[in-house]
Structure 1
Amino acid sequence: MRRSISSKAKSFLHRNLLDKGNPGTSPSSSSFSICGFCFSRRAYYSGGSGYREILRNGIRYMKLDDSLDLFFHMVQCRPLPSIADFSRLLSAISKMKRYDVVIYLWEQMQMLGIPHNLYTCNILLNCFCQCSRFSLALSFIGKMMKLGHEPSIVTLGSLLNGFCRGDRIYDALYMFNRMVEMGYKPNVVIYNSIIDGLCKNKQVDNALELLNQMEKDGIRPDAVTYNSLISGLCSLGRWSDATRMLSYMTKRQIYPDVFTFNALIDACVKEGNLLEAEELYEEMIRRSLDPDIVTYSLLIYGLCMYSRLDEAEQMFCFMVSKGCFPDVVTYSILINGYCKSRNVEYGMKLFCEMSQRGVVRNTVTYTILIQGYCRVGKLNVAEEIFRQMVFCGVTPNIITYNVLLHGLCDNGKLEKALVILADMQKSGIDVDIITYNIIIRGMCKAGEVADAWDLYCSLNQKGLMPDIWTYTTMMLGLYKKGLRREADALFRKMKEDGILPNDCYE
């Protein structure tokens, strides 16, 4: 979990939540800590039933610290609030995606002897699944049944959806079949979870079979069903099947939404069919569907791919005028477009604009800009951006390092690249074969073929296997040094390792 509950927090809550004495007495401390947050007891002592008004009218707008203050007050009320009241509060915290907090509070309710019902159990089970704690979820279902709570379709649906989200599609399918055997009738939500899970695991044909089964069972598919199928077909490049599915969906008077169009536009852009993507965008407008940030980002990406940067910039400005504000992905796409066209100064302008708009720059954004300046030979700027990245607490990944190393080696700064490589190794970064290929290439380019050979020979000790680029780079370096016999021997070694020369063109 992202923030563990400290032992001090547990100790404090045990001292206070388990105190069943006079609710009016004030503990010695006026604040407590849970899951990394500090909370003061402040707002809910106006009366014993004040919490009911908050649960009725204010719970939607509550923040986590207010929710925990309310819980702290509720467990001290006498008589205790009903389980329905506690369930509403736990549900609200669950919607904040603080599943760890819900689990902990439920444990406190157990210790206080507060009874629970099926609805509360379903909330807790969903939290276990959202945290991918499936063994606890399964054992909890057994506990529910012992306590006389027969699992409902919602209970099993939560577990099944958790399996799908956790990339455990075969467990989900087993659960689905067991549900049917036990007499549960799957609803559209259950079918949608399985169909979406199958599509995300590239088992679209199985998902289509399940669609047929769903219709035979008298369950009418909805937009969510078709969106999953269309997205799955598009991800496999089955464009014609996806368009047929769209047509079938419309004939059944289930109308495509923004998600449907985004899936189709994404497929068109990846296929390089930008004209089709633009036509789909126009169709969205005709259907009075408001494009969202994903729609605009996909179109901007497509325009940048074809170096239509003026149009990409216009689309960018248009989305802002429509109240759809760009996020880090949109900015990164546009910055990348300008950097690839070697207009890095405008890319830097957009980079600076991000902070003015309150958009947090991430590793991808910094890496794109570093690569842009490396391409135009401005290594000093690229290095300065790298230093700024680290200073701002944005962690470089292996791609960032490889981009910088490539720029340094290509611009004759091999010694500096070797210093960075040494720093990477000291920092425990998993250096990959791409990194070593870059350094070997840089050494060969600088005429340091003997050093490149030594590095090549050390790869096995580092647990790395040379690839086609390693062999090709090393052979070219040997040929340039007139070491033809050694280069030919390396070529034979490459074939013995099962690496074919044409692999680099695939």
Structure 2
Amino acid sequence: MVMFTTIGGSALYFPKVSNNNNNSFLFHCPSKTTKTTNHYQQQHLSTITCSSSIITNNLVPIPNYKKNPLDFEYYVRDRCKSGNLGLDEALGLFDQLLQIRPLPCIIPFTQLLDTLVKMEHYHWVFNKFKLMLLAGIQPNIVTLNTLINCCCYVGRVDLGFAVLGNIFKRGMRPDPFTFSTILKGFSRKGDVNQVLDLFNKMLENQYPLNVFTLGVVTDALCKTNDTDAALKFMTRMEKINIRPNVKLYNTIINSLCKENRMDEAVHLFEQMDTKSVQPDIVTYNSLIHGLCRFGRQKEVTSLFEKMLSQNIQPNVNFCNIFVDFLSKQERMEEAFQIVELMPQAGLIPNVVTYTSLIHGLCNLGQWNKATELLNEMESRGISPNAQTYSILIDYKCKEGKFDEARHIFEMMTEKGLEPDTYTYSSLMDGYCLQGQMEEAKRVFDSMVVRGHEPSIINYTILIKGYCNARNMDDAVQLLNEMRSKGLKLDTTTYTTLIDGFFNVGKVLEAKELFYNLSTKDLQPDTTTYNMIDGYCKEEIQGSKVKEDDSHEAMQLLNTMIEKGFSPNAETASMQVNLSVKATKL
């Protein structure tokens, strides 16, 4: 443990992140005598590898830093805020600030350091910070927060703690952003335990918190799919009068939507209104995207109307969500209307917009319109991406036109686009549907060779193909391969194999897999239960129902109904037959 003594005298303990003894290099410099400082400045300025000349491509005249130092400081501030400050110019401005006499205050130096962090030139931040110290310029809390942020961005949270130690050593009191920055560093590394430990230490020592701190912890929890903990954390913070803002609500709502917990997401959205937190376009994007996936059209329409009533203007992402929703609903006329209206709102359709439209047209079998739209898209300078081509390949595979699908695949790779697992899945599925298992396996192997890790979906497609071809040996071999790679099988994979074993008359193997579902924390679905008709179909048809088999099949059917599943007509008929046969035994 590392202990820092706070200003009030109480002790604050932190976990020891690293045994690296070089943490002090950030603050190690010679004594600040005029001779040493001037010598170091001259040496550095004569050997600096980057040009110190300022790029003058902006219309604002550059003040003379020697004659008008205050104007020059304002100029530095404005250039940092502009968002178009380049590296050479930033370094040049920093060096010219160092030449002003008397030396400027810390503020313009801090502004430039912060800009360098945002530009991701982290080594220059350390370089210029040390140069600043050697010049005799003392950092303030904002400067040191910026340095901590830089340390965390390069994955050295331990150096961030070293800076924190220097803050205490200088008699400064950390502000909410000091700790929030370190918390964010742990969060980037995925170390939620460290995030929570440090946050609890902050509470114990009564260090100041703000909504940004709360947002960092919430984001860390949601990234690890612990949304329930994030909700509890938000409630806990409200009890100490830290009110969540729209960004925090957005984080949790988005996480709930990703977990398909739409009712809870909508409830949290409604809670925002009661707590006077105004939603923004990000809030609506998450909710509408989630509701669209579940086809909850009325709620989508209601939310859209509410959004417009609050004068929240749609962005491109929002329009893409709507276009995708309408396309999947086969409401292509409405989808095209939205695209036509986008330019009036200053929004330009992008590759995602066109890809959704092409997908919708392909689902309707309107290939000619899809290719026309593809040509229009390219004529507007919008290049199709891997997903666009994958949709076209999938359509051709489902039509059984593998030569055309292969041609599109080759055209895609010639343009330098890397096929993704969806692309390969489309080709594999097409070949499997046609019973061309050698070709399907060849595509699978090609995917692996190109560095793509097969997913459960990829494996399940092949397994289903082998099951349909009554080749259970190869299907089981793939199953074992999945297990050896640590892939967690889902209900669909098990259902596919159970069906395959039933079809080849291997009832015992099917039964074993069925009962394995519960040991793997998986619940059989309706499809799984409806497959158990294979368990004793032959016996029923031949009036050879064994008492044990009859009772077991009835038990499975009753379990199905108890769990709320609805048997299909064939399974329900089997239930009646089993009951009749059982009474005759």
Shift of 1:106: 0.9
Give the Cα–Cα distance (whole angstroms) in 2 for the partners of residues 129 and 179 of structure 1: 19
The residue type paired with residue 337 of structure 1 is Y
Shift of 1:336: 1.8
Deviations 1:130-160 (A, max 9, x none): 5554443344345446777411232223334
Deviations 1:96-132 (A, max 9, x none): xx5x715243134346667655433222223344555
Give the Cα–Cα distance (whole angstroms) in 2 for the partners of residues 360 and 312 of structure 1: 22
- Specify which of 400, 404, 409 is matched with residue 351 of structure 1: 409
The residue type paired with residue 502 of structure 1 is N
Match of 1:30? none
Answer yes or no: is the 8 Å Cα contact 1:125–1:137 preserved in 2: yes
Match of 2:449? 391
Give the Cα–Cα distance (whole angstroms) in 1 for the partners of residues 320 and 453 of structure 2: 31
Q: Aligned with 1:468: secondary structure?
A: helix
The residue type paired with residue 361 of structure 2 is L
Deviations 1:39-63 (A, max 9, x none): xxx969999976969737655444x
Q: Aligned with 1:501: secondary structure?
A: coil
Identity among equivalent pairs (%): 26
Q: Aligned with 1:485: secondary structure?
A: coil
Match of 2:466? 408
- 2:22 aligned with 1:14: yes
The residue type paired with residue 279 of structure 1 is Q
Give the Cα–Cα distance (whole angstroms) in 1 for the partners of residues 204 and 220 of structure 2: 23
Which has the larger displacement, 46-55 or 293-302?
A: 46-55
Match of 2:533? 472
Give the Cα–Cα distance (whole angstroms) in 2 for the partners of residues 260 and 213 of structure 1: 25
Runs (5+) with no aligned partner, structure 1: 1-8, 24-41
Match of 1:212? 273
Question: Any residues of structure 2 matched to 1:304-315 within 5 Å, and which?
Answer: 304-315=362-373
Answer yes or no: is the 8 Å Cα contact 1:300–1:312 preserved in 2: yes
- Specify which of 227, 238, 241 is matched with residue 299 of structure 2: 241
The residue type paired with residue 184 of structure 2 is N
Give the Cα–Cα distance (whole angstroms) in 2 for the partners of residues 372 and 152 of structure 1: 54
Shift of 1:366: 1.7
Match of 1:502? 568
Shift of 1:390: 2.0
Answer yes or no: is the 8 Å Cα contact 2:221–2:230 preserved in 1: yes
Match of 1:103? 157
Q: Aligned with 1:20: secondary structure?
A: coil
**CA 335–178 in structure 1, closer or farther in 2 if over 3 Å, else same:** same
**CA 433–318 in structure 1, closer or farther in 2 if over 3 Å, else same:** same
The residue type paired with residue 155 of structure 2 is V
Shift of 1:243: 2.1
Shift of 1:274: 3.2
- 2:429 aligned with 1:371: yes
Give the Cα–Cα distance (whole angstroms) in 1 for the partners of residues 326 and 151 of structure 2: 40
Which has the larger displacement, 71-80 or 331-340?
A: 71-80
Match of 1:36? none
Q: Aligned with 2:568: secondary structure?
A: helix
Q: Aligned with 1:390: secondary structure?
A: helix
Answer yes or no: is the 8 Å Cα contact 1:374–1:382 preserved in 2: yes
Match of 2:545? 485
Answer yes or no: is the 8 Å Cα contact 1:195–1:225 preserved in 2: yes
Match of 1:125? 183
- Specify which of 67, 70, 93 is matched with residue 122 of structure 2: 67
Give the Cα–Cα distance (whole angstroms) in 2 for the partners of residues 13 and 72 of structure 1: 19
| Structure having the higher Rg | 2
Answer yes or no: is the 8 Å Cα contact 2:222–2:251 preserved in 1: yes
Question: Any residues of structure 2 matched to 1:163-202 within 5 Å, and which?
Answer: 163-164=221-222, 166-184=224-242, 186-193=244-251, 196=254, 201-202=261-262
Match of 2:389? 331
Answer yes or no: is the 8 Å Cα contact 1:363–1:394 preserved in 2: yes
Report the TM-score when normalising by structure 1: 0.74
Shift of 1:292: 3.2
Runs (5+) with no aligned partner, structure 2: 1-16, 32-47, 53-90, 99-108, 573-585
Match of 1:282? 340
Give the Cα–Cα distance (whole angstroms) in 1 for the partners of residues 371 and 240 of structure 2: 57
Give the Cα–Cα distance (whole angstroms) in 1 for the partners of residues 544 and 26 of structure 2: 81
The residue type paired with residue 153 of structure 1 is V
Pairwise CA RMSD of aligned residues?
4.3
